[in-house]
């Protein structure tokens, strides 16, 4: 018996050791710079460190960055340098789809080289079977490579700097200098984009000194351009608006004003953080801030949505909930099957409320989508939200909740604030339609989706009274079969569909330089009658005028063509949508795989 016990222990030890060996070199790919250059999360801290950048051994291909070596390689293959750069760009997108944010195994070689294995398959073999692989001065798969040349020519890719609003040829030194630029097809550039006078309209200079001076001036311009931020605040309220027209590629990096403010407030917390969130995506800086708060002794509670099959729209939600001692979800009762917990609010230390239209998602946190966020410093407002949160935390969601009292006409400095919750307040019928009917000058509506017939009729009636009614609608939802925007257009309401990669995710109304309506609720029956939602009405002239300025700024950016047509959300209609790595129209096809982006794409 003793002999068998020893054998069992030895076998268990071997198994344990094997598991360690198998998982020791499993890490996440943080960044794919090119098909043969990556950053791995060796330190498991979610950040790229200097010692975490590696070269993938045995990968030879073009990239989107100019170099003397690549130029010479292109000449050897009798390919124009710009075509080689375009193929390099497509190669980078392919490599990113294989590796970025994936867990891989790696083996270190000499000179900081590595070999990568992903899902048990050798990355080199996968890439070297692709149309982008090169070897000894020629394409590995010549027939497929020829198709990529045709695709590169037809795409007419340009470097677009959304800060300077200039576009460049792929081999332009000024375009390559811009760290915040993206690559787009020429026909997907904004109509008001200006061409680089040095590469698109070259000026011949005989004086090298003058050329050097021009380079210095262009570099200085690139450095001096600062991304425009939209926010306004007083001692009680801060309003942040994110701009989908300037952030054309989403990221999980905490660089937006909203994300930085959220992390700052979490880091200041001393007692409690209550979160009612539709879903949660792991944004490293937010997750770390919450974990640090828990270590400080802050009580963190989480209420979230759960679908009828026990999942969530954002796959990180349930994993995040399991890391917290206290969480609750709308699951397990038949009344909850067709409703969602759609709130997006934080209550911090019972004196700060952060709410609005933004989810904790990569597309919302980065400013890729347009959202509006309110940070309110008020124990009274926090107490109203606390009552709502406690009901949901106690498994009372949707129609099982009680109506919150004393929630209207709260004086905060120069603002009068009212807070409403769905479905108890029937917000559209009892609040929003009344505000629309009382409008005297204008009603501007940045809105994700409009399907509610009564509110649509009220907007149409307002337009017939001579009120300036304008709506910016999300492009994807312009194809929703329940949308009422075409009926609104027929009633002479001005409706533009946005034409950018990101979503018009706001759920807001701006009325008469007087009222702001901001929250999580779309203008839909479900939002009004079934879902858990929150909406604030803020009477403050300064804030209303500020939001109006943003709305009109965005209105001017969207061409008038989209007053009459609906921009397709993943196509050349929508700026950046074919190169952002996002399934913008939810058809499970991304970028070049979507027929809207490459209807002329050559079939294999």
**Distance between CA atoms of residues 338 and 398, nearest Å:** 10
Give the span between the Cα atoms of 290 and 265, in whole angstroms: 10
Domain boundaries, the chain: 1-149, 156-226, 230-563
**Which residues on neighbouring strands pair with residue 27, listed in sequence order?**
104
Which candidate, 187, 47, 152, 223, places its Cα nearest to that of 592? 152
- pLDDT of res. 588: 78
Element (H, E) at 152: helix 142-155
pLDDT of residue 44: 83
Q: Quote the CA–CA distance of 80 and 71 in Å, as a whole number.
A: 9
Yes or no: say if 274 and 293 are a contact pair by the CB < 8 Å rule.
no
Tell me the torsion sign for CA atoms 251, 254, 260, 265: positive
Full DSSP string of 434-463: HHHHH-SSEEEEEES-B--HHHHHHHHHHH
CA gap 253, 259 in Å, rounded: 9
Contact 38, 53 (CB under 8 A): yes
User: For residues 551 and 510, is the Cβ–Cβ distance under 8 A?
Assistant: yes
Find the mean pLDDT for residues 492-518.
96
- pLDDT of 323 higher than 70: yes
CA-based torsion, 592, 594, 597, 600: positive or negative: positive
Residue percentage of the chain with pLDDT more than 70: 88
Q: Which of 312-316, 490-494, 598-602 has the lowest mean pLDDT?
A: 598-602
Alpha-carbon distance 312 to 592, whole Å?
A: 27
CA–CA separation, 536 vs 408, rounded Å?
Answer: 10
CB 376 within 8 A of CB 412: yes
Per-residue confidence (pLDDT) for residue 220, from 0 to 100: 46
Global pTM value: 0.70
Residue 466 Ramachandran class (φ > 0 left, ψ -120 to 50 alpha, else beta)? left
Q: How confident is the model at residue 336 (pLDDT cuts 50, 70, 90)?
A: low
Count Cα neighbours of 53 within 13 Å in the Cβ-side half-sphere. 7
Q: Has residue 286 got a pLDDT over 60?
A: yes
Average pLDDT over residues 94-98: 86
Query: Distance between CA 29 and CA 16 in Å, rounded?
Result: 26
- Alpha-carbon gap, residue 229 to 332, rounded angstroms: 43
Run of H or E residues at 533:
strand 533-539
Q: Is 415 left (phi over 0), alpha (psi -120 to 50) or beta?
A: beta
- Going through 97-149 in order, the beta strands assigned E by DSSP cover 103-108, 113-118, 121-122, 134-135, 138-139
**pLDDT for the residue 31:** 86
- Which residues are CB-neighbours of 6 under 8 A, at least 6 positions away? none
Give residue 401's pLDDT band: very low, low, confident or very high (50, 70, 90).
very high
How many Å apart are CA 388 and CA 383, to the nearest integer?
Answer: 9
Contact 254, 286 (CB under 8 A): yes
pLDDT computed for residue 185 by the predictor: 82
Q: Mean pLDDT, to the nearest integer, of 315-333?
A: 87
For residue 437, pLDDT over 90 is answered with yes
Distance of CA 450 to CAs 48, 205, 479, 481, Å?
42, 56, 11, 11
DSSP letter (8 states) at residue 110? S
Is 1-149 a CATH 1.20.1070 domain? no
pLDDT band at 205 (very low <50, low <70, confident <90, very high): very low
Q: Please list, in sequence order, all residues whose beta carbon lies within 8 angstroms of the beta carbon of residue 118, skipping any fewer than 6 positions away.
A: 98, 99, 102, 104, 105, 126
With contact defined as beta carbons under 8 Å apart, do 497 and 566 qualify? yes
Least confident of 168-172, 184-188, 425-429, 511-515: 184-188
Contact 379, 387 (CB under 8 A): no
Given a cut of 60, whether residue 202 has pLDDT beyond it is no
Residue 57 has a pLDDT of 84
- Please state which of the ranges 14-28, 48-62, 179-193, 503-517 shows the lowest mean pLDDT: 14-28
Please check the confidence at residue 43 and state whether its pLDDT lies above 70: yes
What's residue 203's pLDDT?
Answer: 40
Strands (E), 335-371: 344-348, 352-356
Per-residue pLDDT, 218: 43
pLDDT band at 444 (very low <50, low <70, confident <90, very high): very high
Model confidence over 162-171: pLDDT tens digits? 767 788 888 8
Strands across the sheet with 344-348, in order? 230-233, 237-241, 372-377, 352-356, 344-348, 272-277, 299-304, 326-329
Which SS3 state, helix, strand or coil, does residue 493 take?
Answer: coil
* Residue 242 · residue 267 · CB < 8 Å: no
pLDDT at 209: 53
Same topology, domains 1-149 and 230-563? Answer is no
- What mean pLDDT is reported for the chain? 86
Helix, strand or coil, per DSSP, at residue 241: strand
Q: What is the pLDDT, as a whole number, of residue 298?
A: 97
For range 325-349, the mean pLDDT: 85
CATH match for 230-563 among 3.40.50.2300, 3.20.20.80, 3.30.200.20, 3.30.870.10: 3.30.870.10
pLDDT value for 435: 98
Q: What are phi and psi of 508, to 5 degrees?
A: -135, 160
pLDDT band at 13 (very low <50, low <70, confident <90, very high): low
Structure confidence by residue, pLDDT tens digits, 372-391: 999 999 999 999 999 999 99
In the chain, the percentage of residues whose pLDDT exceeds 90 is 48
How far is Cα 327 from Cα 400, in angstroms, rounded to an integer? Answer: 18
pLDDT of residue 335: 63
Confidence at residue 498, expressed as pLDDT on a 0 to 100 scale: 95
Q: Render pLDDT for 212-263 as a digit per residue (tens, 0 to 9).
A: 554 445 444 433 333 456 899 999 999 999 999 888 888 888 989 999 999 9
Above 80 in pLDDT, residue 299?
A: yes
């Amino acid at each position: 018996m003793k002999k068998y016990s020893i054998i069992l222990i030895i076998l268990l030890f071997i198994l344990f050791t094997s598991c360690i060996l198998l998982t020791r070199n499993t890490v996440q790919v943080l960044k794919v710079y090119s098909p043969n250059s990556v950053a791995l999360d060796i330190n498991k801290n979610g950040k790229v460190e200097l010692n975490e950048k590696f070269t993938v051994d045995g990968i030879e291909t073009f990239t989107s960055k100019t170099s003397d070596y690549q130029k010479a390689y292109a000449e050897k293959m009798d390919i124009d340098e710009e075509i080689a750069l375009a193929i390099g760009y497509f190669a980078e997108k392919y490599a990113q789809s294989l590796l970025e944010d994936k867990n891989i195994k790696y083996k270190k070689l000499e000179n900081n080289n590595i070999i990568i294995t992903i899902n048990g398959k050798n990355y080199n073999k996968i890439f070297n079977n692709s149309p982008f692989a090169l070897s000894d001065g020629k394409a590995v798969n010549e027939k497929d490579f020829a198709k990529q040349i045709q695709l590169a020519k037809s795409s007419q890719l340009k470097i677009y700097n959304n800060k300077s609003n200039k576009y460049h040829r792929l081999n332009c030194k000024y375009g390559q200098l811009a760290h915040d630029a993206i690559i787009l097809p020429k026909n997907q550039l904004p109509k008001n984009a200006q061409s680089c006078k040095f590469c698109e309209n070259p000026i011949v200079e005989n004086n090298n000194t003058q050329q050097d001076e021009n380079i210095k001036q262009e570099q200085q311009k690139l450095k001096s351009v600062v991304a425009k931020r939209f926010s306004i605040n007083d001692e009680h309220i801060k309003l942040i608006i994110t701009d989908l027209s300037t952030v054309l590629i989403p990221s999980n990096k905490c660089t937006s004003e909203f994300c930085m403010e959220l992390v700052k407030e979490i880091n200041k917390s001393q007692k409690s953080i209550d979160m009612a969130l539709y879903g949660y995506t792991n944004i490293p800086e937010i997750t770390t801030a919450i974990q640090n708060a828990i270590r400080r002794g802050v009580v963190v509670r989480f209420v979230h949505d759960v679908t009828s099959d026990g999942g969530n729209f954002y796959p990180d939600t349930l994993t995040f909930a399991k890391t917290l001692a206290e969480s609750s979800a709308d699951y397990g009762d038949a009344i909850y099957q067709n409703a969602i917990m759609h709130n997006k609010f934080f209550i911090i230390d019972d004196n700060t409320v952060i709410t609005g239209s933004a989810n904790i998602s990569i597309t919302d946190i980065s400013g890729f989508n347009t959202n509006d966020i309110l940070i309110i410093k008020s124990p009274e407002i926090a107490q109203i939200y606390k009552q709502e949160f406690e009901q949901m935390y106690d498994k009372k969601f949707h129609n099982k909740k009680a109506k919150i009292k004393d929630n209207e006409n709260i004086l905060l400095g120069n603002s009068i604030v009212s807070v409403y919750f769905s479905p108890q307040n029937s917000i559209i019928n009892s609040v929003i339609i009344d505000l629309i009917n009382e409008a005297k000058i204008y009603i501007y509506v940045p809105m994700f989706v409009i399907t509610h017939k009564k509110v649509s009729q009220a907007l149409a009636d307002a337009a017939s009274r001579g009120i300036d009614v304008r709506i910016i609608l999300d492009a994807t939802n312009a194809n929703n079969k329940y949308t009422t925007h075409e009926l609104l257009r027929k009633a002479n309401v001005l409706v533009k569909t946005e034409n950018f990669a990101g979503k018009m995710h706001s759920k807001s109304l701006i009325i008469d330089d007087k009222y702001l309506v901001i929250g999580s609720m779309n203008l839909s029956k479900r939002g009004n009658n079934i879902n858990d939602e929150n909406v604030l009405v803020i009477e403050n002239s300064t804030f209303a005028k500020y939001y109006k300025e943003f709305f009109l700024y965005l209105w001017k950016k969207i061409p008038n063509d989209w007053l009459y047509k609906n921009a397709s959300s993943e196509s050349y209609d929508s700026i950046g949508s074919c190169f952002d790595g996002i399934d913008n129209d939810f058809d499970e096809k991304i970028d070049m795989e979507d027929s809207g982006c490459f209807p002329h794409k050559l079939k294999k």
